[in-house]
Amino acid sequence: MKLLVIIPTYNEIANISKLLPEVFRNIPEDAGILVVDDGSPDGTADAVKECMENYSDRLHLLERAEKNGLADAYMTGFKWGVEHGYDVLCEMDADFSHKPEYLPELYAAIQTNDVAIGSRNIKGGAVEGWGALRNFISKGGSLYSRMVLRCPIKDLTGGYNMWRKAALERIDLDAIISKGYSFQIEMKYKAYKAGCSIKEIPIIFPDRIAGESKMNKGIFMEALKAVWKIRNR
């Protein structure tokens, strides 16, 4: 199955040139990377273009004029990947919180499952570099979502996930209502409700080293409110 790793970016100049070679080292030779850049003023897209010279037709870039959000970036990336003949689509952050060395494990899991999740909340998984309050909010948010949705997935909020094309077709991307952080929750919940086979792989999730986090308390609290909308659809 042909794999595409989708990496949304906004002001990731400190990370992207280092990340791309690491990703390529951990994916099959026929796999590709798609960077979806939302008009980063720091030159992220230019850095990707420089890297494209070394990776022939395996590295792709979609430049968008403005910041349209993570959910929209992934939706755009999923549809681009399906249109270009990829069978497996992977979500991945650009800040090294999603370690590239887990890609082979996720890819192995997707061979026999519809969805493979990089999970911080199962045995062997953990978060590094977060304070007690941030860790509590993250784990509490995932637990809260599981209880509201009655969904057994341990890491509903995580963003390091692989999807078979068939799974994306079963959940119907055009029917997704979430525009923010709750996108990750809704995608997994719909996959579960659609009867997709789901495997969680333990990962260590370190805090970003360079650049600024896009997450804040307001975004997180809005996601928790959105859980009820997701449940009631």
Query: Model confidence over 21-42: pLDDT tens digits?
Result: 999 999 999 999 999 999 999 9
What is the Cα–Cα distance from 8 to 6, expressed in whole angstroms? Answer: 7
Specify the pLDDT at position 209.
64
Question: How far apart are alpha carbons 91 and 78 in whole angstroms?
Answer: 9
Q: Which amino acid is at 10?
A: Y
Q: What is the pLDDT of residue 182?
A: 86
Residue 140: the pLDDT is 75
Q: What are phi and psi of 52, to 5 degrees?
A: -60, -25
Q: Name the residue among 33, 41, 28, 30 with its Cα closest to residue 17.
A: 33
Check residue 153 and give its pLDDT. 96
Q: Give residue for tokens 């794999």.
A: 3
d(CA 219, CA 224): 9
**Diameter of the chain measured on Cα atoms:** 48
What is the predicted pLDDT for the residue at 68? 86
**How much is the pTM?**
0.91
Regions in the chain scoring below 70 on pLDDT: 133-134, 136-137, 208-223, 233
25-93-190 Cα angle (round to 5): 110
Q: Are 138 and 127 in contact (CB under 8 A)?
A: yes
- So what's the pLDDT on residue 36? 98
Using CA atoms, how far apart are residues 161 and 48, in angstroms rounded to an integer?
22
Position 208 scores a pLDDT of 61
| Structure tokens given for 108 | 């192995």
Q: Is 46 left (phi over 0), alpha (psi -120 to 50) or beta?
A: alpha
